[in-house]
Amino acid sequence: MHRSLHYSNPTITSPFRVRARSLTRVLLDYLRLRSGYISQWSSRGRLGRNLPSGGRNLTGSVMIVIGLGTGRSGTASLAKLLNAQRDALCFHEMNPSCIRFSGTPRPILNTIDEYQVIVDGGDPSMLTVDLGRPVAAKAYDRLCRMHRVRLIGDIAFYYLSYVEAIAARNPNVRFLCLRRDIDETVASWINKSRISRWPSKHLADRIGALITRAPFHQSRNFWMEHDGSHWQHDPVWDKCFPKFEAASMPEAIRKYCEFYYAEAEQLARKLQPVFRFVDTPRMVNGDYQSEILSFVGVPVGEHVFTDAHIHQSRTGHSPKARRVLAGSRESADRH
């Protein structure tokens, strides 16, 4: 974990003397941050609640974007589209180590405040990022090299519980909720949660588990409470998902998707000017990408389009995946 807001310890020559250069650096960093917060406070009103024009950004086409969705729903493709825009940087799951699905608003709101300081012209390195994730570290390094940032954000499934708090904190935020067919999402998550091994590694681990009487895990299950005897625990991702009572993992994933979209529908009604759905299959269409980019504040003449990549083949599920999905649907119907 890396907290980029840090200072070198000043060289203390006596209880009352501090090296002037170190003190000056601390004061300049403090004033830079303070000026950013004053700017956003004065332009938006207290916590942004009194911004005119229905919450529209009046300072120009700078914007903060929070993407969300069930996962395996095109989040990486949306991040790719936003990153293709000029002066834009969008993370993909920037800081999961500090987040739970609910109950951890402080790191979320800190991130929104840090984003605002950056688009107001502050130091782009002043951002809390989980550098243990290579994709996040790479994006952070790119951000630090940028001379101007007009659009910044993050896309992750775990933002659902925090949308209203974020919207109350800062009206410059636009929310994009990806929406994909539930059957396809369940099949993709089943594949993603599987623990892949080379044949030789699979055999070695199986024998090792027999010798040591340890569990031989072939999958993770983020959607159900379990003791780790059948599914492998994941200390980072387990806490980022809500949990469901279900007879099987596919059924739990289905319940998760249904819950997620029901919650998102309510948010869309409450926050209509700043919250919209993005239908994943339509992201291959240039006109649809243009709608998305206009919604988040990218000027029409500056739109850059990308090729969307959706997890799992569109040609249909494998026979095994079809059997698993059929079983989960039958179980869901019984309940």
Q: What are 268-298's pLDDT values in tens digits?
A: 999 999 999 999 999 999 999 999 999 999 9
Q: Tell me the fold of 12-181+273-302.
A: Rossmann fold (3.40.50)
The mean pLDDT of 142-153, rounded to a whole number, is 97
Predicted confidence at residue 219, as pLDDT, reads 97
Retrieve residue 199's tokens: 């044949």
Greater pLDDT, 97 or 35: 97
Query: DSSP of 296-323, one letter per residue?
Result: TT--GGG--------SS-TT---HHHHH
Model confidence at 244: pLDDT above 90:
yes
Predicted confidence at residue 329, as pLDDT, reads 52
Model confidence at 230: pLDDT above 80:
yes
| CA gap 278, 310 in Å, rounded | 13
Predicted confidence at residue 332, as pLDDT, reads 46
What ranges do the domains of the chain cover?
12-181+273-302
| CA gap 90, 195 in Å, rounded | 28
What global pTM score does this model have? 0.77
| CA gap 136, 133 in Å, rounded | 5
Q: What are 48-106's pLDDT values in tens digits?
A: 333 333 334 444 467 999 999 999 999 999 999 999 999 999 999 999 999 999 999 99
